[in-house]
Structure 1
Amino acid sequence: MRVLVAGWFSWEDMGTTAGDLIARDMVCKWLEEAGINYEVAVHSRFPYANAIDWEKADQNRYTDIVFVCGPFGNGYPVTNMLEHFSTARLIGLNLSLLDSLENWNPFTLLYERDSSRAAHPDITFYAPPPKVPVVGIILAHKQKEYGKNGKHDAANEAIERLINSREMAIVPIDTVIIDNAGKLRTEGEIESLLSKMDVVVTTRLHGTVLAIKNGIPVIPIDPIAGGAKISLQVKSIGWPLLFRADSLNEKALLEAFEYCLTPDAKREARDCALGAINEINKIHHKFIADIKTLSEI
């Protein structure tokens, strides 16, 4: 028995979703458990081990086609694949059938998601949850007040390389209220979104502050040569990570990212936040006392 695993990931422009790929991976694991040899029909944009271009494959290479996930009907491009492998049996898994089984049933085995006869839970429920860090990216606009000392491009390029260095779910967060790029309308919405991150990477002072305030490990990159307000703020709260755009060490940046994923980093962020709150509490009480004194003059 030789199986070809196919799905909407087998074509380039068919709207392949995360669910399609999760279901694909599940089916491949099940075939491995069963001890069945398989290959996967994928387009080059969706690489996979044991991958093949199905249109170039020998028409008699496979005994079975397992088509996994998504809508499935009697029409293009599904029928092109079925005609190409006309000698193979068809197994359907996690499919939403567009045609009644009474009118069209090309399957030797069918485990539908939904059809004219039954509906079942989507198989992606069965997949283990991923452990990909969610990373907030908060970038400052170019700050003309710093003149030639502004190194925002260098900082942004370093952040882009960091993003590309490993799998991470990127969430751009704009902290500007007017015309917010993420359609966030209030400071509460911005901070609430930021508080859901695993890590924050930022060239903004308040990106740094709001991350630490919410116990989120942060990689602050001061975009000003020689350091400016971000550097001073980080030192004042005792956060151990600080980078400057004019002297970035990319190996250290990668190491900092790995550190930010640790429980120690989260504890450090919480401790820094508590220390800052205690310091500001003193300012709070001094302000009240001073303003009362001033009001009596």
Structure 2
Amino acid sequence: MRVLLTGWASFLHGEATAGDVLSLRAVGAALGQAGIDHDVVWSPGFRPGTRHLPDAPPGDYTHVVFACGPVHGPQVRSLHERYASCRRIAAGVTVPDPEDPAVTGFHRVFPRDVFPRDDGATPDLSLAAPVAKTPVLGVVLAPHQPEYGGTGRHDEVHDALTGWVAGLDCARVPLDTRLAHEDWQRCATPDQFVSLVSKVDAVVTTRLHGLVLGLKAGVPVVAVDPVAGGGKVTAQAKALGWPVVAAEDAGDAALLDARLKWCLSTAVAPPPAPSLTGLLDELAGSR
């Protein structure tokens, strides 16, 4: 017996959701524990350099297992055509139409739900998959800042920084300090924003208030100044006694790795509030 494990994440024009991939992981783990030889195929758009459907000849397998997602459409039907010589099984799937050839082409279907029937649903396969927790990084990028003229390096710094973040084993959460009352994707109050920042493990930012509010929330910050020679991020970091990466060093992945490692192992106490005595004295003296 040799099983080819497939799902929507296997198709060239499919999609790889977290639940789909975890379901494939769960089935793969179960097959491995049972001592069943198997291969998993992935979309080249999702995981280039791995085994794809064209690399899995039908003659090499006795069974095809399709895990998770809705069973419908030409891509699922193409599995039946390509692997007609194999026994085909669907597991943990949604069945929108029991009469669809994409469904009836399987020798056996273990559904998680069937429509329009209401004869009970089963828990999703992703619940059986082992998962490992990774750091959660909040990413706050500054907009173009014309006040810095030709010293602004925002585009190249952001390209380097986001390229670095994309290669990390972490969960990435784009954050925006701009507030909006009618846009559900943004916070409406600064209290909401600081509360949101407090939930991540570290902040990566090129914005002054990404640095300040990260530290205010007790979260360590990888601060990168997007201005050559240093701008307000560098000045604020100096005022707060916090390290900053210069624009010229934004492409140094080893430096960023070291800074992030330090941040993830560092406890942060919110910085002291600045004094407003001078302002109050000035106002009092001008009455």
Cα distance change, pair 22–48 in 1 and its aligned pair in 2 (3 A) = farther
Instruction: Please state how far the C-alpha of 1:33 moved relative to its aligned partner.
Output: 0.7
Taking structure 1 as the reference length, what is the TM-score of the superposition? 0.80
Q: Secondary structure at the match of 1:42?
A: coil
Alpha-carbon contact 2:22-2:126 (below 8 Å) kept: yes
Q: Secondary structure at the match of 2:22?
A: helix
1:97 aligns with 2:79: no
Q: Where do 1:219-238 residues align within 5 Å?
A: 219-238=222-241
Instruction: Give 1:71's aligned residue.
Output: 70
Instruction: Give 1:21's aligned residue.
Output: 21
Instruction: Please state how far the C-alpha of 1:160 moved relative to its aligned partner.
Output: 2.2
Cα distance change, pair 57–252 in 1 and its aligned pair in 2 (3 A) = closer
Q: Secondary structure at the match of 1:45?
A: coil
Q: Quick one: which of 244, 254, 260 aligns to 1:257?
A: 260
Q: Quick one: which of 275, 281, 284 aligns to 1:290?
A: 281
Alpha-carbon contact 1:96-1:112 (below 8 Å) kept: yes
Instruction: Please state how far the C-alpha of 1:25 moved relative to its aligned partner.
Output: 1.2
Q: Where do 1:184-203 residues align within 5 Å?
A: 184-203=187-206
Instruction: Give 2:31's aligned residue.
Output: 31
Cα distance change, pair 36–48 in 1 and its aligned pair in 2 (3 A) = farther
Cα distance change, pair 294–62 in 1 and its aligned pair in 2 (3 A) = same
**Unpaired runs of at least 5, structure 2:** none
For 2:74, give the aligned amino acid. Y
Larger Cα-atom Rg: 1
CA distance, structure 1, for counterparts of residue 175 and residue 142 of structure 2: 11
Cα distance change, pair 80–187 in 1 and its aligned pair in 2 (3 A) = same
1:113 aligns with 2:92: no
Cα distance change, pair 229–52 in 1 and its aligned pair in 2 (3 A) = closer
CA distance, structure 2, for counterparts of residue 57 and residue 289 of structure 1: 75
Q: Secondary structure at the match of 1:215?
A: coil
Q: Which moved more, 1:168-177 or 1:44-53?
A: 44-53
CA distance, structure 1, for counterparts of residue 11 and residue 280 of structure 2: 70
Q: Which moved more, 1:30-39 or 1:158-167?
A: 158-167
Taking structure 2 as the reference length, what is the TM-score of the superposition? 0.83
Q: Quick one: which of 118, 127, 132 aligns to 2:129?
A: 127
Q: Secondary structure at the match of 1:39?
A: strand
Instruction: Give 1:9's aligned residue.
Output: 9
For 2:9, give the aligned amino acid. F
Q: Quick one: which of 146, 149, 156 aligns to 2:148?
A: 146
Cα distance change, pair 227–88 in 1 and its aligned pair in 2 (3 A) = same
Alpha-carbon contact 2:225-2:247 (below 8 Å) kept: yes
Compute the RMSD of aligned alpha carbons. Answer: 3.1
Instruction: Please state how far the C-alpha of 1:206 moved relative to its aligned partner.
Output: 0.9
Cα distance change, pair 151–99 in 1 and its aligned pair in 2 (3 A) = closer
Alpha-carbon contact 2:2-2:38 (below 8 Å) kept: yes
For 1:135, give the aligned amino acid. L
Instruction: Please state how far the C-alpha of 1:84 moved relative to its aligned partner.
Output: 2.4
Q: Secondary structure at the match of 1:71?
A: coil
Instruction: Give 2:220's aligned residue.
Output: 217
